[in-house]
């Protein structure tokens, strides 16, 4: 650290800033969707008494991505919240995709490959379960 | 308690957790699960699901703020994310087969460890000669310090990679960001300067959590009615915390929050052993 010289190291600050904007946008959009669903949910079912002491797992229509999307477009409040959470989960995933492109533009193919591996692991988790 | 009251209380508690977490730099996610499980009697799997989602939110939200003050190393982050995402998937699978009592005890230990880590003084990494593996993976980097470019060399890559797999597993098992373990792997094992490791770790937390989120979703851990107040509360709290952030003055707040985390850790272990969760 004390070793300070002027040599070419890596400075990722430009990519960083773009990624920062991407992450913040994703975060704001998904929070807005979650909030919308939340207000609708509480307006309709706010008086019901929930029970979360025992784990049953959420109903099937709130587990699968196509059903969540369909439910959200039909105006189901819980599906809208879940859709917002999906957008939230998609935000870091899109950051990895962004990195694949950024590394490709830099012609850093080792890191194109590494980013692709991370992307595949994420896809395995999200799409095949 | 009806849904409206339940949401309001949870949102308030989460807001406080997010606020203190970002003010002290300890992260609010780590207290969400004990808060939901111990205070609100929520089943630990729902609690873990809601916590994990809130961790993604704060990671994305804080990233924009951190970019201005920190210096992340995208290559270190991306390379280590192979380990953390694989670990996260392993952890998410484990969580379905681990008894609640065992999860509570492991959680308690991690809370105690996080509280201890937060009290540690982080010293500037010493300078090390270039390491062959790190060089071939292009992990070395630099950041500006007092107007000059400070170059750092990363070392012990396999050890760091292994620790990151562990950090990912804990993240997937407990629904936390496990920043404390990530920082340990980068600071202590790989000799990454902490100006770089803090920011890089924050970048990694969201991607790591996204890897277990898919499995949590399909296993039904993510309940929208619980995740909604938690996510919005933590997010708002951490944004407010970042605005109030004056690092020099938060030492006593930091100490208090660390003590709260430690107390929750002991409570989790106690409840795990006596089987009350």
Which pLDDT tens digit goes with each residue over B180-227? 888 888 888 898 887 788 888 888 889 999 999 999 999 999 999 999
Per-residue confidence (pLDDT) for residue B64, from 0 to 100? 56
CA B158, CA B175: separation in Å to the nearest integer?
A: 25
- Note whether residue A12 is domain-resident: no
Mean pLDDT value of segment B231-257: 78
- Note whether residue A8 is domain-resident: no
- CA nearest A52: which of B12, B100, B221, B228? B221
With contacts defined as CB-CB under 8 Å, which chain B residues touch A78?
A: 224-225
Residue B57, CB-side half-sphere exposure with 13 Å CA sphere: 33
Residue A4 predicted with pLDDT over 50 = no
Touching A: B residues 12-41, CB under 8 Å: 40-41
A9-61: per-residue pLDDT in tens?
Answer: 445 556 667 777 888 888 899 999 999 999 999 999 878 888 888 888 888 88
Q: Which of B46-50, B113-117, B229-233 has the lowest mean pLDDT?
A: B113-117
| Phi, psi values for residue B143, rounded to 5° | -150, 155
Domain count, chain A: 1
Residue B78 predicted with pLDDT over 90 = yes
Best residue in B165, B217, B220 for a mutation probing chain A (most A CBs within 10 Å): B217
Beta-bridged to residue A4, according to DSSP, are: B150
B248 DSSP 8-state letter: G
With contacts defined as CB-CB under 8 Å, which chain B residues touch A110?
A: 137-138
- Note whether residue A83 is domain-resident: yes
- Note whether residue A54 is domain-resident: no
Q: Does B104 touch chain A (CB under 8 A)?
A: no
Per-residue confidence (pLDDT) for residue A102, from 0 to 100? 87
Per-residue confidence (pLDDT) for residue A78, from 0 to 100? 95
What angle is formed at CA A66 by the lines to CA A62 and CA A70, rounded to 5 degrees?
A: 80
| Phi, psi values for residue A32, rounded to 5° | -65, -40
Q: Which residues contact B166 (CB under 8 A, 6 or more apart)?
A: B87, B181
| Phi, psi values for residue A37, rounded to 5° | -60, -40
B120 DSSP 8-state letter: S
Dig out the tokens for A27 from the structure.
């975060």
Domain that holds residue A87: 17-45+60-127
- Note whether residue A92 is domain-resident: yes
CA B224, CA B3: separation in Å to the nearest integer?
A: 12
Mean pLDDT value of segment B149-156: 88
Residue corresponding to tokens 């803090």: B198
- CA nearest B236: which of B16, B10, B3? B16
Q: Which of B50-59, B140-149, B246-255 has the lowest mean pLDDT?
A: B246-255
- Note whether residue A89 is domain-resident: yes
- Note whether residue A41 is domain-resident: yes
Per-residue confidence (pLDDT) for residue B66, from 0 to 100? 57
Best residue in B40, B43, B64 for a mutation probing chain A (most A CBs within 10 Å): B64
Residues of chain A with pLDDT > 70, as a percent, come to: 86
Mean pLDDT value of segment B38-65: 86
Touching A: B residues 118-157, CB under 8 Å: 124-127, 137-138, 140-143, 145, 148-152
Residue B127 predicted with pLDDT over 90 = no
Closest residue in B to A63 (Cα–Cα): B218
């Amino acid at each position: 650290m004390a070793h300070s010289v002027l040599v070419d190291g890596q400075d990722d600050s430009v990519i960083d800033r773009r990624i920062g904007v991407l992450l913040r946008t994703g975060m704001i959009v998904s929070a807005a969707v979650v909030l919308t669903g939340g207000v609708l949910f509480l307006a309709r079912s706010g008086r019901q008494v929930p029970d979360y002491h025992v784990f049953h797992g959420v109903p099937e229509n709130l587990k699968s991505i196509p059903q969540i999307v369909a439910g959200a477009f039909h105006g189901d409040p819980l599906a809208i919240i879940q859709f917002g959470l999906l957008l939230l989960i998609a935000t870091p995933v899109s950051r990895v995709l962004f990195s694949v492109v950024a590394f490709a533009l830099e012609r850093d193919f080792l890191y194109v490959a590494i980013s692709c591996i991370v992307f595949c692991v994420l896809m395995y988790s999200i799409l095949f379960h | 308690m009806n849904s409206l009251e339940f949401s309001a209380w949870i949102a308030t508690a989460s807001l406080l957790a997010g606020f203190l977490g970002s003010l002290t730099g300890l992260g609010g996610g780590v207290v969400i699960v004990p808060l939901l499980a111990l205070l609100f009697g929520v089943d630990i799997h729902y609690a873990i699901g809601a916590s994990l989602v809130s961790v993604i939110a704060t990671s994305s939200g804080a990233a924009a703020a951190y970019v201005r003050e920190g210096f992340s190393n995208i290559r270190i982050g991306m390379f280590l994310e192979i380990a953390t995402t694989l670990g996260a998937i392993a952890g998410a699978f484990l969580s379905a087969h681990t008894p609640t009592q065992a999860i509570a005890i492991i959680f308690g230990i991690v809370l105690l460890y996080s509280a201890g880590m937060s009290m540690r003084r982080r010293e500037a990494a010493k300078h090390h000669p270039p390491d062959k593996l790190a060089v071939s993976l292009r992990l070395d980097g630099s950041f500006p310090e007092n107007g000059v470019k400070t170059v750092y060399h990363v070392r012990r890559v396999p050890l760091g990679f292994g620790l990151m797999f562990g950090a990912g597993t804990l993240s997937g098992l407990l629904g936390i960001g496990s920043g404390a373990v990530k920082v340990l792997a980068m600071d202590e094992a790989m000799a990454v300067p902490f100006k770089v490791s803090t920011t890089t770790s924050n970048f990694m937390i969201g991607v790591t959590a996204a890897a277990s989120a898919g499995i949590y979703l399909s296993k039904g851990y993510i309940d929208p009615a619980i995740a909604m107040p938690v996510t919005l509360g933590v997010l708002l709290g951490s944004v407010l915390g970042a605005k109030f952030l004056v690092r020099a003055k938060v030492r006593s707040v930091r100490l208090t929050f660390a003590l709260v985390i430690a107390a929750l850790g002991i409570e989790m272990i106690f409840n795990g052993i006596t089987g009350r969760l």
